[in-house]
């Protein structure tokens, strides 16, 4: 056996690949050869570490030194100084944002300190394309235990007792769902994984698929055993090519080792997995639309009941769970339901992975115990707001969720507290917004998304969201009327209660939540024709500050409609009746004398 004294882990998750990690890896291999270290140091490709902001990420073991934003030209220094001479390269370590000290080790970085990595425990630590690395970390022990020591009913009881709830958004108890599929009569059943992650800003499922695909496979096989299914489908969007590639490799390796296929662990249980690539329609995240899409039909939802547990794929009993839900299963079987249920809040157990994006310093993936507050996630893990601006709100749950304002930052997060606050867990996307965000525009943005993604099958969603979007567009253009807010509210309530599927039922949420917490902004747009955040360009007005203006005439020269007048070396003025609000004057002014209100 070839032994290596050191392992260099290079992150090849999608985030780090796009910031250049493939080149870093190639350069690493070249330099190791140049220094004749290729027999001593092994380069390992891993999945996402979650700290995408700082990519490409390179970690050197056994010490666990964490290097970030590594460029190909830095590699020689790492090899010569650290790998050859044992002097870790300080300048490439993570710099603490407050103390400005270099932090050499992974676990000492604030971003990771408050996390509780259960689902993501292998992401960034193992090579996802090598099943042995997964097994080294205890992989497939849960499947062995379930198949050889437990009955399907015991597996379901264990999952029920753990309190695991669906991580895709709805939060339905997973064990209960499995119980329905188990009880359904039928000779053929299916396990389906919903990997159609479509929320803008969410990428936790992709990272699991890319970084630890066997965790999903093992979870699905256990579910198959529990409900009595011998076949499974993973519905993953075609926009995730790396995830699909690694899933295919993982499935093939599991087959080779007999961990998928016939008579697994000599138990007589058979299970095989298929991948179905989706074309990226948001509505296919809805389980009945997803099933229709696997069957080769248009991705449109249908009325439930019958639920998929009784009539699912090709009319057979089927169980649909999301990636993160399945990834939790093996941990529950190995460590027991008590262990899992000891974490979290009263009704939400375990952890949740959040994708932190928007105006936050540390964008990335954070897995935290349920019940942590938004403040801890955004400020302690996320490092606060970019450019130290003021926090305004966070959109949670993507286009189906709602915004949470500053006064609720100390809300402990779980499924129920978020629903009460007018948002929802959703898949766990957190889009952080600063003071420069217009909440009306935000609602318009998300409604525009759901409106475009509406499949058109039911009238409330097809027509209702369109009318709501028209109203919001008018308001942001300064053409809002008295009564618009009330009309929006009444439409929202009707759509929520009458739309066919989850897409329509949740589409009005961003509007309702922004109305709930930022009604004054809507009123300012409609009554005063003013955008308090200064975002809606049709409502902006530009003013020249007399005391700062030097009379250089630069703004007057650049104005395309001659709305600025004034004498040389004297303060200028903007004629707001001529101004088309293009903002060219403000960009040109060298003295910050022009402000937008």
Partner 1 sequence: MIIKTAEDLKKVKEEALDEATARINDGTQIMVGMGTCGIAAGAREVMAKIMEEVGKRNLKVAITWTGCIGMCEKEVLVDVIRPDSKRITYGNVTPQVVQRIITEHVINGNIVEDYVVGKLDK
567 Cβ contact partners less than 8 Å away, ≥ 6 residues apart: 551
Q: Is 62 in the site for partner 1 (CB under 8 A)?
A: yes
CA dist list (Å): 211 to 46, 245, 357, 369, 545: 6, 12, 20, 20, 54
> H or E stretch including 403?
strand 402-405
Report the 10 Å Cβ neighbour count for 548. 13
**Distance, CA of 259 to CA of 263 (rounded, Å):** 9
Query: Between 6 and 551, whose beta carbon lies closer to partner 1?
Result: 6
Q: Is 125 in the site for partner 1 (CB under 8 A)?
A: yes
The distance of closest approach from Cβ of residue 384 to partner 1 in the complex, given in angstroms and rounded to an integer, is 32
Using CB under 8 A, pick the residue from 33, 101, 107, 136 that binds partner 1: 136
**Distance, CA of 515 to CA of 439 (rounded, Å):** 9
Using CB under 8 A, pick the residue from 27, 53, 110, 133 that binds partner 1: 133
> H or E stretch including 265?
none
Please list every residue from 265 through 324 that binds partner 1, using CB under 8 A: 265-266
The distance of closest approach from Cβ of residue 244 to partner 1 in the complex, given in angstroms and rounded to an integer, is 25
Q: Which stretch binds partner 1 (CB under 8 A): 61-69, 168-176, 390-398, 433-441?
A: 61-69
Q: Is 42 in the site for partner 1 (CB under 8 A)?
A: yes
CA contacts within 13 A on the Cβ side of 47: 30
The CA R_g of the chain, rounded to the nearest whole Å, is: 27
Q: Is 121 in the site for partner 1 (CB under 8 A)?
A: no
Q: Is 5 in the site for partner 1 (CB under 8 A)?
A: yes
Q: Which stretch binds partner 1 (CB under 8 A): 6-14, 206-214, 324-332, 391-399?
A: 6-14
Query: Between 6 and 534, whose beta carbon lies closer to partner 1?
Result: 6
Q: Is 6 in the site for partner 1 (CB under 8 A)?
A: yes
**H helices within 281-387, ranges in order?**
287-294, 323-335, 337-341, 374-375
Q: Is 388 in the site for partner 1 (CB under 8 A)?
A: no
The distance of closest approach from Cβ of residue 446 to partner 1 in the complex, given in angstroms and rounded to an integer, is 42
Q: Is 145 in the site for partner 1 (CB under 8 A)?
A: yes
Q: Is 113 in the site for partner 1 (CB under 8 A)?
A: no
Q: Is 141 in the site for partner 1 (CB under 8 A)?
A: yes
Using CB under 8 A, pick the residue from 18, 34, 73, 87 that binds partner 1: 87
Using CB under 8 A, pick the residue from 137, 347, 457, 530 that binds partner 1: 137
Query: Between 125 and 178, whose beta carbon lies closer to partner 1?
Result: 125
**Distance, CA of 230 to CA of 47 (rounded, Å):** 29
Q: Which of 11, 175, 120, 126 is nearest to 368 (CA)?
A: 120
Report the 10 Å Cβ neighbour count for 523. 14
Please list every residue from 156 through 185 that binds partner 1, using CB under 8 A: none
Using CB under 8 A, pick the residue from 176, 257, 386, 452 that binds partner 1: 257
**Distance, CA of 550 to CA of 491 (rounded, Å):** 51
Q: Is 135 in the site for partner 1 (CB under 8 A)?
A: yes
Q: Is 91 in the site for partner 1 (CB under 8 A)?
A: no
Using CB under 8 A, pick the residue from 113, 132, 527, 569 that binds partner 1: 132
* Residues composing the chain: 597
Q: Are 55 and 87 in contact (CB under 8 A)?
A: no
**Number of residues lying near partner 1 (CB under 8 A):** 35
**H helices within 184-305, ranges in order?**
204-211, 213-227, 241-256, 287-294
Q: Is 40 in the site for partner 1 (CB under 8 A)?
A: yes
Q: Is 107 in the site for partner 1 (CB under 8 A)?
A: no
Q: Which stretch binds partner 1 (CB under 8 A): 138-146, 344-352, 357-365, 442-450?
A: 138-146
CA dist list (Å): 559 to 87, 284, 535, 553, 596: 57, 48, 20, 10, 15
- Torsion angle (degrees, nearest 10) of CA 510, 511, 517, 520: 150
The distance of closest approach from Cβ of residue 155 to partner 1 in the complex, given in angstroms and rounded to an integer, is 16
Strand order in the sheet with 190-195: 261-264, 269-278, 231-237, 190-195, 318-322
Q: Is 34 in the site for partner 1 (CB under 8 A)?
A: no
- For residue 376, give the DSSP letter: I
Using CB under 8 A, pick the residue from 20, 23, 29, 61 that binds partner 1: 61
Query: Between 46 and 417, whose beta carbon lies closer to partner 1?
Result: 46
> H or E stretch including 514?
helix 509-527
Using CB under 8 A, pick the residue from 51, 111, 140, 190 that binds partner 1: 140
Contact mark string toward partner 1, 446..485, x via CB under 8 A: ----------------------------------------
262 Cβ contact partners less than 8 Å away, ≥ 6 residues apart: 270
Residues that bind partner 1 (CB under 8 A): 1-7, 9, 40, 42, 61-63, 84-87, 125, 132-133, 135-138, 140-141, 144-145, 148, 256-259, 265-266
């Amino acid at each position: 056996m070839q032994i290596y004294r050191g392992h260099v882990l290079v992150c090849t998750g999608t985030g780090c690949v796009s910031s250049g990690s493939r080149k870093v890896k190639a350069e690493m291999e070249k330099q190791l050869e140049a220094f004749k270290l290729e027999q001593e140091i092994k380069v390992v490709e891993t999945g996402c570490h979650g700290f995408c902001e700082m990519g490409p990420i390179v970690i050197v073991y056994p010490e666990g030194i964490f290097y970030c934003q590594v460029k190909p030209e830095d590699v020689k220094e790492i090899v010569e100084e650290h790998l050859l001479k044992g002097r870790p390269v300080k300048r490439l370590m993570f710099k603490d944002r407050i103390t400005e000290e270099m932090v050499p080790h992974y676990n000492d970085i604030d971003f990771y300190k408050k996390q509780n990595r259960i689902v993501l425990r292998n992401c960034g630590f193992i090579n996802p394309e090598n099943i042995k690395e997964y097994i080294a970390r205890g992989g497939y022990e849960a499947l062995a235990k379930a198949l050889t020591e437990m009955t399907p009913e015991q597996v379901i009881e264990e999952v029920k007792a753990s309190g695991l709830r669906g991580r895709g958004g709805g939060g339905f108890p997973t064990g209960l769902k499995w119980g329905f599929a188990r009880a359904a009569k039928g000779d053929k059943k299916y396990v389906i994984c919903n990997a159609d992650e479509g929320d803008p800003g969410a990428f936790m499922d992709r990272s699991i698929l890319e970084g630890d695909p066997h965790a999903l496979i093992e979870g699905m096989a256990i579910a198959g055993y529990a409900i009595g299914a011998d076949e499974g489908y993973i519905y993953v969007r075609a926009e995730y090519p790396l995830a699909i590639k690694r899933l295919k490799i993982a499935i093939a390796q599991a087959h080779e080792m007999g961990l998928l296929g016939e008579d697994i662990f000599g138990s007589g249980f058979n299970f095989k997995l298929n991948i179905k690539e989706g074309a990226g329609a948001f509505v296919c995240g809805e389980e009945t639309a997803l099933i229709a899409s696997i069957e080769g039909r248009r991705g449109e939802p249908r009325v439930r009941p019958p639920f998929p547990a009784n009539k699912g794929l090709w009319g057979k009993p089927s169980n649909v769970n999301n990636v993160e839900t399945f990834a939790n299963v093996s941990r529950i079987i190995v460590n027991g339901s008590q262990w899992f249920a000891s974490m979290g809040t009263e009704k939400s157990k375990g952890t949740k992975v959040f994708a932190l994006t928007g105006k936050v310093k540390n964008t990335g993936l954070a897995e935290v115990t349920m019940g942590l507050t938004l403040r801890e996630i955004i400020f302690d893990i996320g490092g606060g707001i970019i450019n130290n601006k003021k926090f305004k709100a966070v959109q949670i749950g993507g286009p189906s969720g709602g915004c949470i304002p500053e006064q609720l930052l100390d809300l402990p997060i779980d499924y129920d507290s978020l629903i009460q606050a007018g948002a929802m867990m959703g898949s766990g996307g957190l889009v952080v917004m600063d003071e420069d965000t217009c909440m009306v525009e935000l609602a318009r943005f998300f409604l525009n998304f759901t409106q475009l993604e509406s499949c058109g099958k039911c009238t409330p969603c097809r027509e209702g969201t369109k009318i709501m979007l028209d109203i919001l567009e008018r308001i942001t253009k300064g053409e809002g009327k008295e009564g618009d807010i009330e009309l929006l509210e009444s439409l929202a309530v009707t759509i929520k209660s009458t739309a066919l599927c989850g897409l329509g039922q949740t589409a009005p949420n961003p509007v309702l939540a922004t109305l709930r917490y930022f009604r004054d902004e809507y009123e300012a747009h409609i009554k005063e024709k003013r955008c308090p955040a200064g975002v809606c360009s049709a409502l902006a007005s530009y003013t020249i500050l007399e005391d700062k203006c030097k009379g250089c005439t630069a703004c007057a020269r650049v104005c395309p409609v001659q709305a600025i007048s004034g004498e040389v070396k004297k303060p200028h003025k903007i004629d707001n009746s001529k101004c088309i609000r293009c903002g060219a004057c403000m960009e040109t002014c060298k003295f910050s004398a022009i402000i937008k209100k």
